[in-house]
Amino acid sequence: TSKARTRLELFDWLSYYNRRRRHSALGYLAPIEFERRLTTSDMLALAA
Domain that holds residue 17: 2-47
Cα separation, 21 vs 18, in Å, equals 6
User: What is the pTM (predicted TM-score) of this model?
Assistant: 0.57
- pLDDT number for residue 24: 92
Say whether pLDDT at 7 is over 90: yes
- pLDDT number for residue 4: 94
Q: How many domains does the chain have?
A: 1
Q: What is the 3-state secondary structure (H, E, C) of 1-48?
A: CHHHHHHHHHHHHHHHHHHHCCEHHHCCECHHHHHHHHHHHHHHHHHC
